[in-house]
Structure 1
Amino acid sequence: MRLLALNKPFGTICQFSPHETRASLADWVKVPGVYPAGRLDSDSEGLLLLTDDGALQARIAEPRHKLVKRYWAQVEGAIDEAALKKLASGVDLGDYVTRPCRANHVEPGSMLWTRTPPIRYRAAIPTTWIELSITEGKNRQVRRMTAAVGFPTLRLVRVGVGALDIFSLGLQPGESVELRSNAPWDGVV
């Protein structure tokens, strides 16, 4: 079994086949036979796990296993406690209601890399960073959740999957590392 952790750069699509206008996983991962366990939209960045083991891929990606995925979202506006409580209790997105999750403020400081290209800066509109820990992973879920409570996401970074944390792995955008089977995450994912 092989398991890789990749810091997926902004603008990269979660497929290995070439794309006309965007980078693909093949531009960053040279290990044959591995596939993403879950997805990140091209405009999202951060921790993406890849494996050659179908059972492990299912344990990571399928919501029924309730593996926690942590995201840092830079949202437009100064998000308040009432909006964080709405996020935490579950948000009605029209086609489904999200599961309860953890939602809190976070200060990335120097831990977070600079995005290329940077987000649009507007001096008159503040931004806030929040952390969401969810056990689902539906299409554009975090972006839809923050928009539903009035704070659209400007930048979205997956910082953790299960016990794995992108910062403890020390990965910069485009870098990957193969995880050992006896690593501390073993049995948690």
Structure 2
Amino acid sequence: MLIAFNKPFNVLCQFTDRSQPPRATLAGFGLPANVYAAGRLDYDSEGLLLLTDDGNLAHRLTDPRHKQPKTYWVQVEGVPSAEKLQALRDGVQLNDGPTLPAQARLLEPAPRLWQRDPPVRFRKTVPDAWLAITLREGRNRQVRRMTAAVGLPTLRLVRASMGPHALDALQPGQWRCIDG
């Protein structure tokens, strides 16, 4: 079984939370029993999360050796120059080493997304832009660290696709079974 889930902002990619006060988890969305997240999506990120009851499938989806592309829509603070976009494409130096080259482009117009709760803080004096960034590796908070490294701090991060699977019209908290 493979499930596409639109993980809302500020939801953990696990079914339990031992912190106090407890945070929202996957348990609150009526998902089938015995499925687990294939990979993770940070608490403060949104979008496509794949869940499965098949450990081999989870491995194929998430192991870096399989290099499944993951595409993120990223709202950044500032307007990206051609040089900053090229730096993302070439790979940037992070504190844990250089990243692999990525696909990066300006999204114009901005993607039509649901309202986030709470909303991203709007500042009249600071422009923002949306990027599409596709990675074939998955380090901890990698997209946020990459955009920060080129001077474009991330304001909002939404995973749009993972391998051949896309978010499509799923709204936050909704899920669907995927054939195959």
Aligned to 1:33: 34
Letter in 2 for 1:4: I
What is the identity percentage for the equivalent residue pairs of Structure 1 and Structure 2? 51
- Assess, with a 3 A threshold, how the Cα gap between structure 1 residues 73 and 118 changes in structure 2: closer, same or farther: same
- State the 1:36 CA deviation: 0.4
| Residue pair 1:18, 1:26 contacting (<8 A) in 2 also | no
Structure 2 counterpart of 1:173: 172
Going from structure 1 to structure 2, the CA distance change for 1:43 and 1:173 (only over 3 Å counts) comes to same
- Distance change (3 Å), C-alpha of 1:143 and 1:109: closer
Residues 36 and 50 in structure 1, CA contact (< 8 A), matched pair in contact too: yes
CA deviation profile, 1:64-88 (whole Å, cap 9, x unmatched): 1100000000000011111000001
1:15 is aligned to 2:24: no
* Structure 1: runs of 5+ lacking an equivalent: 182-189
Q: Which residue of 2 aligns with 1:51?
A: 52
- 1: CA distance between counterparts of 2:65 and 2:143? 18
- TM-score when scaled to structure 1? 0.91
Q: Deviations over 1:85-137 (max 9, x none)?
A: 00010110021111011000013546311111100111100001000000011
Q: CA RMSD in A?
A: 1.2
Which blocks of at least 5 consecutive residues in structure 2 are unaligned? none
* Matching of residues 20-99 of structure 1 within 5 Å: 20-99=21-100
Separation of aligned partners in 2, 1:108 and 1:175: 25
Q: Which amino acid in 1 is paired with 2:10?
A: G
Write the letter of the residue equivalent to 1:66.
Answer: K
Residue of structure 1 equivalent to 2:138:
137
TM (norm. structure 2) is 0.95
**One-letter amino acid of the structure 1 residue matched with residue 118 of structure 2:** P
4+ residue stretches of structure 1 with deviation over 4 A? none
Q: What is residue 186 of structure 1 aligned with on the other side?
A: none
The alignment covers a number of residue pairs equal to 178
1:116 is matched with 117
CA distance 1:104–1:110, change in 2 (3 Å):
closer
